[in-house]
Amino acid sequence: MTQPGANPRTPRANIVFVFALALAAYAAWLLREALLLLYVSALFAVVLMPVVRAIERLRIHGWQPQKGATIFLMLLTVTVALAGFGFLAIPPVVRDLQQLSAQTPALPQLLSDLQKNPWLRWLDSSELSARFQGVASHAAAYTLLSIKDWAGKVANLLTGIVLTIYFILEGDRVYRWFLSFLPPQGRERLDQTLRRSARRMGNWLLGQFSLMVILGVCSTTVYALLHVRYAYALGVLTGLLNIVPVLGAAISIVLVLLIAAIDSWTSVIGVAIFYAVYLQIENSLLTPRIMQNRVNLPGLAVLVALLFGFSLAGVPGALVAIPTAVLVSELLDEYLVWKDLPRQAAP
């Protein structure tokens, strides 16, 4: 029996609601890339907020930076660090490439040298030249497509940085607007849950920074001992790329192995052994332990989150996998997990 004053749902209202929900799901699917970019930007804004607040508490000769000045200082620090790294690391690479180019013979000279070999006189220089030109044209076309693809990724990266800055500046206003859609009785509970999640997400950044430093120091030491070219620059780059789980380590392995192969196969074997051992230690010991201490997640949950994040959204998914796992665990713990009531003391 319907209570007086109640507003029961009619079948027509239920049908309209289902259609509206299906339309919203379809729109979300069409806008999934933009929504993913918004989600990643918002999550990074939450992760960086402890750093922003720490800088805001600084006092420099009586001047205390506000949020806008804090963001500017962070961007300036990152820009100066990257520029200094490029200034120190790029010139030796360019110098070696110029020397290699000067020592490499031109294509006609190379073909002439090949035909001087008695075992290779059967080679047709015109046919080889045509084949080389075909390979070069295909390589040029592939390079143009790769540049276009990378340009899109760089544009998404810049857009994500801008969105993160806006979320840091206006995140409180957006957060209050989001909570205003909820009824008052559930608003406070969700607010407390999300704030606990934000504190744990901030700790994730410290844990990830610890992993980057550990890998950077270990790899720099190994590269220097093995006399790998650009050992210190490669060590810093390896540590920085470790912010991207799985893929960052893969890029580092390929790059360092290629550079080590220029000088010595002993260095290649040493680098391969180092990575094989270190990745096992990091994936089975360091990452689960550090993340468990920082964000209070079980080691299995960390590994599963990284696997799901990378499978669903590639690099962006891997970057936000652990903060997302923190958010999901807090929501599940608050709304779905049944907690035992405290036992009453016996009279």
Per-residue pLDDT at 2: 47
Per-residue pLDDT at 273: 93
Per-residue pLDDT at 199: 85
This prediction has a pTM of: 0.71
Whole-angstrom distance, CA of residue 123 vs CA of residue 114? 8
Per-residue pLDDT at 128: 56
Contact predicate 69/52, CB 8 Å:
no
Per-residue pLDDT at 187: 86
The 3-class secondary structure across the chain, one letter per residue, is CCCCCCCCCCHHHHHHHHHHHHHHHHHHHHCHHHHHHHHHHHHHHHHHHHHHHHHHCCCECCECCCHHHHHHHHHHHHHHHHHHHHHHHHHHHHHHHHHHHHHCCCHHHHHHHHHHCHHHCCCCHHHHHHHHHHHHHHHHHHHHHHHHHHHHHHHHHHHHHHHHHHHHHHHHHHHHHHHCCCCHHHHHHHHHHHHHHHHHHHHHHHHHHHHHHHHHHHHHHHHHHCCCCCHHHHHHHHHHHCCCCCHHHHHHHHHHHHHHHHHCHHHHHHHHHHHHHHHHHHHHHHHHHHHHHHHCCCHHHHHHHHHHHHHHHHHHHHHCHHHHHHHHHHHHHHHCCCCCCCCCCCC
Calculate ∠ Cα 218-219-222, nearest 5°: 90
Tokens 């076309």 correspond to 141
Per-residue pLDDT at 269: 92
Per-residue pLDDT 10s for the chain (347 aa) are 445 544 556 777 778 878 888 888 888 888 888 888 888 888 888 888 888 888 888 887 777 788 888 888 888 988 898 888 888 878 887 777 676 566 554 555 555 655 555 544 555 556 555 565 555 556 555 565 566 677 777 888 888 889 999 998 888 888 888 888 888 878 888 888 888 888 888 888 888 888 889 989 999 999 999 988 888 888 988 988 888 776 777 788 888 988 888 878 888 899 999 988 988 888 778 877 787 777 888 777 877 888 888 888 777 788 888 888 888 888 888 888 776 655 554 44
Q: Which residues pair with 60 in a beta bridge?
A: 63
Per-residue pLDDT at 225: 92
Whole-angstrom distance, CA of residue 345 vs CA of residue 347? 6
